[in-house]
Structure 1
Amino acid sequence: MWCSTNFFFPVLVAVLVQRAGALVVQENRRFPLGPGGRRAVTSGNTIFTVGSNGTDDNEFNVRYSTNITVNGRNFKVAIDSGSADLWIAPPQDFVFNNTGIPVTNVYGDGSSTNVVGTIGFASVELGGYTADYQAFNNATTIGLTGILDFGLDGLIGFDFGVETSFIKGALGGANIDETRGQPFLSNIFDQTPDQQNFIGISLSRTDDLEGSADASFLINEVDSTYANVVSAPAIPLFPGNNGRWSIPIDGITLDGVSIPVTPSTVPSTPAGTIIALMDTGTPTASFPADFIDRLYAAIPGSVQVTTGSWTIPCDTTSIMSVQIGGQQFPIHPLDLSDITTDSTGTSICSSPFLAIPGNTEFDSLFGDTIMRNIYSLFNFGNTTAKTPTADSTMQFLAQTDPAFAKADVLKVRMANLGQQGTGASGFAAVADPTSPTPTPAPAPAPASDSLATKYGPIIIGLLAANLVVVLILAVLGLVLCVKGGGKSGARKPQYAPVKFAEGEDERRALDGFEDKRYSD
């Protein structure tokens, strides 16, 4: 039988085919992409992608959005933890219950950012949750930028709506029960009294080469990537009666050195702390002007333009760190500056932080510049009365690794400057003159060359192993053939059935799996 070519040859072919299968380079598994080109994460029906929707290389990470369904039609809306209401700019043929009651949503300072329309009611679905009779602003005049011009259809707010719901105020002014205009999440939490009533948000950084900040947004679930957030200290809201996601900040450092904060203007704030509003709807961050000056003056090579406005070296690797509840949260150096172009066409890097006047509600505003570096859990607590309570808290988990972030800076900034056609000259224009001009990173080799270099030694090794196997089989076959001598009277092998013990169970039980959810 071993001497028969009908057996010997197919065995060799089978061995060769099996080994050749190991030479195939499998393509990396690709995940579905959500808005903004970020990886879509799924967990049941309550997690959905949040994407960054910047329109050019200099203004990336400006808005984060998600998809909602209103009366069966899909809309893409920005998410905003700094406001409460939902507004959309639907097409003319959109059918809904229009009350005709006028409403104006006010954002920022001045009427130029207002959103004006009428109050409508419709069925709204988000991430598997549905509010059958949800109030929204049917927007007709939109002054807020970064929405329609970024291809979005509106905005959805996620705070408590105590003082920030303009829809509730307009309904009350029309002698209609204002609770009918409560925010979307309040309507959802009414339906889930047995759950924890919280949301978890991670914001992405589009140009982050370390790939550590995929975006996700969940209702009543925690992204498994950041599961340890449930063990983080729970930070009570302060002051807790204003309906905002504002919390105390213990301090801020730059490269480990404390930067003195401006004394708080919020009544009863503990000494040495400031109050920050956690706002996903604001692209940057805001601080008092004198704090901004102290912070950027500590960055080597920085130059003050005006009060609260600075240019800094594009390749700075200084790490700003925010302390909350005894935890340190490093801020990526890329979030300390934006690339702009001066009158000569030279790229410069300037501070993105805005000066904020003192007020009685919060001292600083932590927008996306800060929140991209932190996984945030917004715990609404007992929201029966739709107002913050003593158990309304926030929990945080750091997303930025300082070592990776510093290594990330030069590659990202070189790529951005190269796209603008300035290359390394952008660094030379703003960098410390005593430091050498960075050398541009070499262009990546073509994909085919890269694969050959990476997998060539492996392929050669496998081919050599195949040859050894073939030679061994050939020698073994010849030995058997010679030993058998072609004897036609050789005794045929005998086979006996193998009996199993009576009642023996051949199956192995699978380990049990318990679905674990967040708990305080």
Structure 2
Amino acid sequence: MWKLVLVLLWTWTWTSSALLRVPLKRVRSVRSQLRVEGLLEEFLKEHRPDMFNRRYAQCFPPGTPSLRLGRSSEKIYNFMDAQYYGEITLGTPGQNFSVVFDTGSSDLWVPSTYCVSQACASHRRFKAFESSSFFHDGRTFGVHYGSGHLLGVMARETLKIGSLTTINQEFGESVYEPGSAFVRAKFDGVLGLGYPALAEILGNPVFDNLLAQKAVEEPVFSFFLSRRTSSGSPEGELLLGGKDEALYSGPINWLPVTAKGYWQIKMESVSVQGAISLCPRGCQAIVDTGTSLIAGPTADIISLHQLIGATPTNIGEFLIDCARMSSLPHVTFVLGGTEYTLTPEQYVRKDTLADKEFCFSGFQAVDIFSPQGPLWILGDVFLTEFYSIFDRGLDRVGFAFAKHPA
């Protein structure tokens, strides 16, 4: 099973000033690595959110917000399946790090040279004492991922993404990263692209600072995720400061953001084969590059899996008979009056174990509640098929049909 991963190449292509292209590459996910090595079941048992809360609570300052039960989970920060990452530099002179570009979070953090976790030993670590532009904050922060609870201290630094520069960027130095997913992950840290309200670290998120310091041409960024898996070629693109008309076709369907934390929008319905609706009165959805799957409320996803003939495994995944792919129903999401239909070939994930191919559902049951009701997550299974545009100027998300080569 191959997942879409943002790999920032060393070549930066500019179409104009303050418009930055980040080429994307596709590599194997942590979940797939664990499955091939026969370690996935053990990992999932050991990394339940409630278990992490109770096991590590004594390691964190009292009142750490992200320790609250129900706050965490792989449901939002799903790095086991999708790792979108690229190179940035922090400090003067610059120190290089690979970070996940994640619309499902708003913080920037990288490992500290003082980090004591195994995960930090296998990744690049920030050395504050080597930077002349470093400013120590002293406050602590905590972020709870499905793979573990991260703890760190806050600071400010000069940040560069390619040729884009922002000064006095708030970020976190992690000093504790439990969980083997971080050890196996290709990225060093995370660069969140959500709204400020979602941040655990006080201060402006990276894109807000880019806007405030007029470093980008437009208050917009966009993602194109390719289906290609060929080596050596860019397999997608993150464009900071605008959108690329060459990567999509037809008009853009704009949807207003309904809550400024995640990139949250209203979804009119989800239907199977155009008939059975899973949210007939409408529901809320998060557009999240930090997860590869499409997630929804448990009751709806159970119904969906029954309709597509998926059977559960003992570790919460759902298997589909690969021989039945051509007969499976289509699944359609209605957003802003436009239908976005996924075929079985698009919503089924394939993986190979001992030379045998297995097919897994691209849908996952996750219960996330908000004042507007239960939330769905439109992850990479959806975003691979549709070009996505995130507009902070007008607080809206745009979708268009992605142009994939034949």
Q: Which residue of 2 aligns with 1:251?
A: 269
Q: Which residue of 2 aligns with 1:199?
A: 221
Aligned-pair distance for 1:73?
1.8
Q: Which residue of 2 aligns with 1:35?
A: 7
Q: What does the per-residue CA deviation read over 1:91-111, in whole Å, with 9 as the maximum and x for residues that have no partner?
A: 264533333321112335xxx
Q: Closer, same or farther in 2 for the Cα pair 1:55/1:196, shift >3 Å?
A: closer
Say whether 1:102 aligns with 2:140.
Answer: yes
1:74 to 85, 96, 100: 96
Q: Which residue of 2 aligns with 1:214?
A: 235
Q: Which residue of 1 aligns with 2:364?
A: 354
Maintained 8 Å contact 1:122/1:133: yes
Aligned-pair distance for 1:296?
2.6
Aligned-pair distance for 1:275?
0.7
Aligned-pair distance for 1:41?
6.3
Say whether 1:311 aligns with 2:313.
Answer: no
Q: Which residue of 2 aligns with 1:183?
A: 205
Which has the bigger relative contact order, CA under 8 A and spacing at least 6? 2
User: Any gaps of 5 or more consecutive residues in structure 2?
Assistant: 1-5, 34-79, 112-123
Task: Give 3-state SS (helix, strand or coil) of 1:49's partner.
Answer: strand
1:114 to 127, 149, 155: 149
Aligned-pair distance for 1:206?
5.0
**TM-score using structure 1 length:** 0.56
Q: Within 5 A, what are the aligned runs for 1:235-384?
A: 235-238=255-258, 240=259, 242-254=260-272, 256-262=273-279, 272-299=281-308, 302-303=310-311, 310-315=318-323, 316-317=325-326, 318=328, 319-331=330-342, 333-339=344-350, 347-361=357-371, 362-381=374-393
User: Any gaps of 5 or more consecutive residues in structure 1?
Assistant: 1-33, 169-180, 263-270, 382-390, 405-520
C-alpha distance in 2 between matches for 1:129 and 1:39: 14
Q: Closer, same or farther in 2 for the Cα pair 1:363/1:225, shift >3 Å?
A: same
Q: Which residue of 2 aligns with 1:65?
A: 85
Q: Closer, same or farther in 2 for the Cα pair 1:320/1:56, shift >3 Å?
A: same
Task: Give 3-state SS (helix, strand or coil) of 2:15's partner.
Answer: coil
Maintained 8 Å contact 2:165/2:215: no
Say whether 1:165 aligns with 2:199.
Answer: yes
**TM-score using structure 2 length:** 0.70
Which letter maps to 2:382? I
Q: What does the per-residue CA deviation read over 1:256-297, in whole Å, with 9 as the maximum and x for residues that have no partner?
A: 4233214xxxxxxxx621111111112322112222232232
Query: Is the deviation greater in 57-66 or in 73-82?
Result: 57-66
Count of matched residue positions in the alignment of Structure 1 and Structure 2: 329
Aligned-pair distance for 1:204?
3.2
C-alpha distance in 2 between matches for 1:56 and 1:113: 14
Q: What does the per-residue CA deviation read over 1:385-408, in whole Å, with 9 as the maximum and x for residues that have no partner?
A: xxxxxx31111012278x97xxxx
Which letter maps to 1:74? N
Aligned-pair distance for 1:64?
1.2
C-alpha distance in 1 between matches for 2:343 and 2:236: 16
Which letter maps to 1:394? V
RMSD value, Cα: 3.6
Task: Give 3-state SS (helix, strand or coil) of 1:66's partner.
Answer: strand
Aligned-pair distance for 1:50?
2.6
Aligned-pair distance for 1:187?
0.8
Task: Give 3-state SS (helix, strand or coil) of 1:257's partner.
Answer: coil
Aligned-pair distance for 1:373?
1.6
C-alpha distance in 2 between matches for 1:374 and 1:191: 30
Maintained 8 Å contact 1:41/1:216: no
Which letter maps to 2:381? T
Aligned-pair distance for 1:116?
1.0
C-alpha distance in 1 between matches for 2:182 and 2:169: 21
Which letter maps to 1:134? Q
Q: Closer, same or farther in 2 for the Cα pair 1:129/1:302, shift >3 Å?
A: same
Say whether 1:225 aligns with 2:246.
Answer: yes
Identify the structure with the greater strand proportion. 2
Which letter maps to 2:22? F
Q: Which residue of 2 aligns with 1:436?
A: none
Maintained 8 Å contact 1:58/1:339: no
Maintained 8 Å contact 1:99/1:118: yes
What stretches of structure 1 move > 6 A for 4+ residues in a row? 36-41
C-alpha distance in 2 between matches for 1:105 and 1:273: 31
Q: Which residue of 1 aligns with 2:38?
A: none
Which letter maps to 1:312? I
C-alpha distance in 1 between matches for 2:341 and 2:230: 15
C-alpha distance in 1 between matches for 2:335 and 2:160: 34
Maintained 8 Å contact 1:102/1:118: yes
Q: Within 5 A, what are the aligned runs for 1:121-132?
A: 121-132=156-167
Aligned-pair distance for 1:37?
8.7
Q: Closer, same or farther in 2 for the Cα pair 1:312/1:186, shift >3 Å?
A: same
Query: Is the deviation greater in 369-378 or in 38-47?
Result: 38-47
Maintained 8 Å contact 1:52/1:63: no
